A and B are shown apart, each in its own frame.
Chain A
Amino acid sequence: MIKPEQPRIEIDDLAAVVREAMAAQKHRDDHAFTNGSPAASDPPASRFPELKLQPDFQPRSNNRYHISDLLRYHDRAFVDNSYRAILKRPPDATEFARDLKRIRSGEFNKIDVLATLRYSNEGKAKGVELEGLKVPALVRRLGHLPVAGYFVRLAIAFARLPNQVRDQREFAGYVLSQNQQMTDFINALSARLTEISEGVSRVEDVLSKQLTELRTETQAFASRTSEETHVIQTQVDEIRVQTELMQSLVEKLQRGSEFHLDPLYAALEDRFRGSREEIRERLRVYLPYVEPVRGGLVIDLGSGRGEWLELLKEAGISVFGVDKNPVSVSGCRARGLIVVEDDVLALLQSGADASADAITGFHIIEHVPIETLVTLVDEVLRVLRPGGVAIFETPNPDNVLVGSNFFYLDPTHRHPLPSELMQFLFESRGFERVEVLNLNPWDSGRVAGEGELAERFNGLFYGPMDYAVIAHKAQT
């Protein structure tokens, strides 16, 4: 939990809000004033407005001008426009510089320039009509006469004095207005510059924010990667733990603790039951019996080394095993098989009704006392779905050698279970279509020869060593 920070009021924040509100109000006022569609009246942000101190010059198509059309221009514009109007072309660099100098120095006045242009050869050739030029031009000419010209100029000057004064005033006013325009323009420019610079700093903010985000993401990625590494590390550690567990079990065995029987049993199994491959082959015979329940769930009670689990997995049938022996369980898990470490009966009892399609148990029923066996059979029936199948394989006491000798190789076996007894048991507890399958004869041990003795002998001592009870639950 983060303690609430004291929400102090910062003066800068307040000032910022004041400014924003001012700007917003100004914006509203401006738009109310212009009254036009906002989109249209806002200039595109990128273009700078131009300052036009003088209006553009539009050449006339009829080539008729009055001198006042041109006289209203000053300085550069005057020179340029005069050429365009009278000679219908812009001045070249030399002409421009020369005439501009003349105007600026006062040596020529505008009338002079106009007259010079108009009455030049080119001007005459172009024949542009320039009203009001003649008289002033003539007077100017007169003014240029030697001696008399001075008097003419003087007279003209006096006559023109009021005009001059007026002109001066006009000019002054003109200059002032030009200055004002320029000032306004500069101010507007400066405001635009401010906007732009604010825009730039906003862009900077955005960029820096994005950069920060990018950095954060990169860091997040880095930390995720380190997380994942951590996870892997954890898994490695777990494996190490499991290995250590195995080792400690082995040690316990050597020291003679209570788990010593499990590895012994595992070792016994290895020695007397047969190799994995042999067992796998033998168990294949049951595949056809679980085939009808493909798509359903098989539970293998007492899965041991997991050969049956492997077979089913390869066949694509869902199965999980149950075994109390942690060594077997971890061995199976190491092979990617699914095993629950639990007591077989406890697991069955915790199962829901009709939740499995097949329940198998290879060489387990000979380990339990008869009362437990009955309970086990009942639970199997309950947990099976209607139409489900139960398969239990156990050593076959019909084989005398098995029944009297080999059965007891496993000290945890209780007593041999005759197949007729098992068949009866399953039927009486409610199973249907109970069949017995006799399997795995000891062919290599048979005595040679024919005749009844050999047959009887072989039948009794070298016949099927195991049998399986295959029982079904009624469909409804």
Chain B
Amino acid sequence: MKLNWFSPLPPAKSGIADYSFGILPELSRRAEVTLWTDRAGWDPQLEQYATVRRYQPERIDWVELNRAELSFYNIGNNHLHHAAIWQVSRQSPGIVILHDARLHDFFESLYRGQWRDQAGYLAQIEKHYGEEGLRIATEFVTARHGDYDFMAQRFSLTGAVLENSLGALVHTKNAFDELRVSNRHPVFYAPLPSAPILKSANTDGLPRPPYQLIIFGHIGRNRRLDAVLEALAQLSERNLFRLDIYGEIDDPKMLRQRIHTLNLKDTVTVHGYTPLAELDEALSTSHLAINLRYPTMGEASASQLRIWEHALPSLVTRVGWYASLSPDAVVHVHPDNEVADIRSHLETFLQDPARFARMGQHGRRLVETEHHPKTYVDTIISLVENAREFKLRQAAFYLAERSGTVMGSWTRLMTTDFDSPNRLARKIHSLTAQTASDTQAR
């Protein structure tokens, strides 16, 4: 069994690169894996598990690609990492793994940013959302400060990503339910797998003050840092906490200013980008993680899994995937009441740190059962086993569209005269559908 895996690869600074690396050992045990990358370099460790092939979207070894039974294309919002993957996916249909359910950012940055093709961007919106969509998008591009959040929520553009695909794999139940209804393609769900951590989890006794808070990852506006700092500043017992922030910061100057203004210099330390080993070490000595996200792009969070791997309790926003997490493993912060909620949770933590420690343990158990890489790889393998079915299905729909287009030129009226669509559908079905007693020759 052979499969193609398109994904950003380490050392690319992408959570999806880490995710691929995380499941690769297990995946390579079950199938022969070829990794495809458009970058010049990759972590040599990868070659222990798979063959690595370099490609460009306009120049790719189709023969090599065709040797595998199924191709998997990992797509996320970062156009730098995923533009090439998307382009290949349109030519050679495979399974698209959607790491974000809202992909407006991807298309907007790709078309308008990278390709300087605003018309192309508008055409995509019109194609999937009609005249109304085009009108809104035109307003957006002409406005001085477009509302990116609104556009992201309104135009998920998953249709554009899945256009020529065999199916989609998503990591959140929300996305699964949404896509199943609105989409013609087969959709599958598997919980995001956790990646192995480099430093073992914190199994010390009870935590002692000062309690260590941690925020990590890409620190943008949606991480709600303002609310966290505000809440800390309001807390009279703030000196019992230390907050360490790890990761690339979108606006470091503003952050420093804020810390200074709120007089939190002794409480908050900003570390910037940190390699994984160091981050894991910091996590293993922390007591409470803060993983707020708002607005969300519908993604499941690899960071959250990492937090649970370290048996840490955490604060999450009650929105998207995070809202579905068990209150036995996290505490929720309501997006409309952030500062007060954060404060209240911190005070509760001071009262009863043991309870929070138990939450962390629960999270650990969750990650070991539902989010185990083995479970995830099972899903991938069963998709490969069904590869032929997907291809036949796609061929059937291709023929349906093709014959419909041809016939559309002849018929003047919209009424279903001659029952042609049904007859055609039956013919196409008999040509492509597998019978129950189909025997696989190979």
Contacts and interface: CB of A to CB of B under 8 A. Distances in A.
Q: Do chains A and B touch in the complex (CB under 8 A)?
A: yes
Interface of A: 1-9, 11-26, 29, 187, 190-191, 194-195, 209, 227, 230-231, 238, 295-297, 313, 316, 318, 320, 333, 336, 338, 340-342, 347, 350-352, 355
Contacts of A23: 408, 414
A290 B140 CA distance: 58
Contacts of B379: 1, 4
* Size category, B interface: 35 or more
B396 A14 contact: yes
A1 B189 CA distance: 7
B407 A341 contact: no
Given A26-B412, A320-B209, A320-B240, 6 more contacts: A7-B390, A17-B400, A17-B401, A18-B424, A227-B327, A313-B236
Contacts of A26: 408-409, 411-412, 414
B222 interface: no
7 nearest interchain CB pairs? A25-B408, A21-B404, A14-B425, A22-B408, A15-B425, A297-B239, A18-B404
Contact of B393 (A7, A297, A313, A318): A7
A29 B413 contact: no
B313 to A, nearest CB: 14
25 contacts: A1-B375, A3-B382, A4-B383, A4-B386, A6-B389, A7-B386, A8-B393, A9-B433, A15-B425, A16-B421, A17-B400, A17-B401, A17-B404, A18-B421, A25-B405, A25-B408, A26-B408, A29-B409, A194-B415, A230-B327, A320-B350, A333-B351, A338-B240, A338-B350, A338-B351
Contacts of B321: none
A9 B390 contact: no
Label chain B's interface by main secondary structure. helix
A19 B400 CA distance: 9
A12 B424 CA distance: 11
Contact of B206 (A19, A194, A342): A342
Contacts of B412: 26
A9 B208 contact: no
| Most chain B CB inside 10 Å of its own CB: which residue of A3, A16, A26, A296 | A26
B149 interface: no
Contacts of A209: 181
Given A4-B383, A11-B429, A24-B408, A18 B236 contact: no
| Most chain B CB inside 10 Å of its own CB: which residue of A21, A29, A209 | A21
B210 interface: yes
A18 B398 CA distance: 10
B144 interface: no
Contacts of B111: none
Interface string B169-206: 00000001000010010101111000000000000001
Contacts of B184: 13, 17
B53 to A, nearest CB: 26
B122 to A, nearest CB: 15
Nearest to B419: A15
A32 to B, nearest CB: 11
A14 B414 CA distance: 18
Contacts of B382: 3-4
Contact of A318 (B236, B327, B376, B386): B236
A29 B410 CA distance: 10
Contact of B403 (A18, A296, A297, A336): A18
A136 B52 CA distance: 99
A187 B413 contact: yes
B392 interface: yes
Contacts of B47: none
Contacts of B351: 333, 336, 338
Given A340-B209, A341-B206, A347-B208, A21 B408 contact: yes
B37 to A, nearest CB: 27
A145 to B, nearest CB: 58
B79 to A, nearest CB: 29
A340 B396 contact: no
Contacts of A316: 236
Nearest to B398: A17
B237 interface: yes
B392 A22 contact: no
Contacts of A342: 206, 208
B405 A24 contact: yes
A341 B396 CA distance: 69
| Most chain B CB inside 10 Å of its own CB: which residue of A6, A17, A341, A352 | A17
B173 to A, nearest CB: 9
Contacts of A297: 210, 239-240
Nearest to A299: B209
A230 B428 CA distance: 54
